Amino acid sequence: MKALKIIGLILGVVILLFLIIAFFLPKKVHLEESIEIKAPSAIVFNQVSNFNNWAKWSPFQDSMSDMKTIIADPTEGVGAIMKWESLKDGNGSLTFIEVIPNTSIKAELIFENYSKSIVTWDFKPMQDGTKVVWGMDVEDLPYPFSRWMGLFMGKMMRPDYQKGLNSLKLLCESGDVIESKKWITSEVIEKDITPMIALTIKDSCTVEGFSQKFEEIYGLINIYMEKMKIKQTSPPFCIYHNWNPNGITVFEAGIPISKKVVGNGRIKFSELSGGKVLMASQFGPYESSGYAHEAIDKYMKEKNKTCIGSPWEVYVTDPITEPDTAKWETQIYYPVK
């Protein structure tokens, strides 16, 4: 009888400690893994942003062996949802709640009988490709058992995240993925171009800020052109005075015009010289233009050519009239001796 009392006392103390410690354990858990992939962010983003592609790289297809996956339209973009059923691991769903093309994805993860989680992917352009950061945040872990589970959640899930990112890397760096999107780089050619006049605005920002900056700059120039009754003679362009995928890039965006005109504030009248250039066209989203830059760089090394100025891109296709990014054409120019 005495022994039972001692056992009961010890058990009571253990339970009490379990409850007391759980009270002070974190209510939140953050998990994050990253990898560098030698492919443009558009390619990597496409594999994550469309649930139809997950079977090619997702680690959970193997870890949840009896999982039945249900994917309904839409399969990508905000509102896309993937549900699963598993007798072993339970049922759940993943819903995209915020999608910024080629930049980031935020999703809501729900497992039955567990706290709601927020899952994120960030796609950060780098000189040789894309850095992918896959994260998860769990908040308001119920007291007491889930808070104890939170201590081991990172250790349990980290191998799956690492496995998934490694599979994603192998997939995105394979020729099959690139070919399947029909993103084509033309042959590099040497040509002479004539001088050009344009209205330009010089600015700087990180790679992530390009879209917003370009929208602002081209909008200001277009308003000024309408005011001055100036006609556009060819597609808009951007000169890259330096390229820093991990920091600040200095660039000069502009629109070719038909006649000389005085600038206004940030808007400058520019006379761009002609001369010999290397040129290649890239067909696909803007982020895929890295392939054309790589092709020109390879050509310069093989032909012993030297770049003598800042390269520039010409955005031939109007995305408003052509929504299919696979059909967009970007021309890349490098001035050479």
The answer to whether 269 and 262 are in contact (CB under 8 A) is yes
| Residues 214, 171 within the same domain | no
CATH number of the CATH domain containing 121: 3.30.530.20
Any idea of the CA torsion for 181, 182, 183, 188, to the nearest 10 degrees?
160
The domain in which residue 56 lies consists of 24-179
Tell me if 8 is assigned to some domain.
Answer: no
Tell me if 18 is assigned to some domain.
Answer: no
> Residue 117 gets which letter from DSSP?
E
CA distance 304 to 327: 32
Tell me if 13 is assigned to some domain.
Answer: no
Of 154, 179, 204, the one marking the end of a domain is: 179
| Residues 329, 194 within the same domain | yes
178 pLDDT more than 60: no
Identify the three-state secondary structure at position 308. Answer: coil
CATH number of the CATH domain containing 200: 3.20.80.10
Please, where are the H alpha helices in 101-259?
Answer: 145-172, 175-180, 210-228
Q: Which is more confident, 230 or 22?
A: 230
CA distance 153 to 174: 32
| Residues 168, 206 within the same domain | no
pTM of the model: 0.53
| Residues 36, 137 within the same domain | yes
| Residues 148, 290 within the same domain | no
Identify the three-state secondary structure at position 196. Answer: strand
179 pLDDT more than 60: no
Tell me if 9 is assigned to some domain.
Answer: no
Of 162, 179, 196, the one marking the end of a domain is: 179
Stretch 6-26: mean pLDDT: 51
How are strands ordered across the β-sheet holding 129-138? 29-37, 129-138, 117-126, 104-111, 92-100, 81-85, 68-71
Tell me if 37 is assigned to some domain.
Answer: yes
How far CA 172 is from CA of 52, 57, 200, 326, in Å, comes to 15, 10, 36, 17
pLDDT tens readout for residues 57-107: 998 766 556 678 889 888 888 899 999 887 776 788 999 999 887 788 999
| Residues 95, 195 within the same domain | no
Note the pLDDT of residue 19: 45
Half-sphere exposure of 79 (CA within 13 A, CB side): 3
pLDDT tens readout for residues 303-326: 999 999 999 999 999 988 888 787
| Residues 35, 155 within the same domain | yes
| Residues 162, 198 within the same domain | no
Tell me if 139 is assigned to some domain.
Answer: yes
| Residues 225, 297 within the same domain | yes
| Residues 133, 237 within the same domain | no
Tell me if 10 is assigned to some domain.
Answer: no
Q: How confident is the model at residue 262 (pLDDT cuts 50, 70, 90)?
A: very high
Note the pLDDT of residue 148: 44
| Residues 193, 136 within the same domain | no
Domain count, the chain: 2
CA-based nearest residue to 213, from 198, 223, 202: 202
| Residues 112, 147 within the same domain | yes
Tell me if 4 is assigned to some domain.
Answer: no
Note the pLDDT of residue 26: 54
Stretch 112-132: mean pLDDT: 82
Of 179, 202, 217, the one marking the end of a domain is: 179
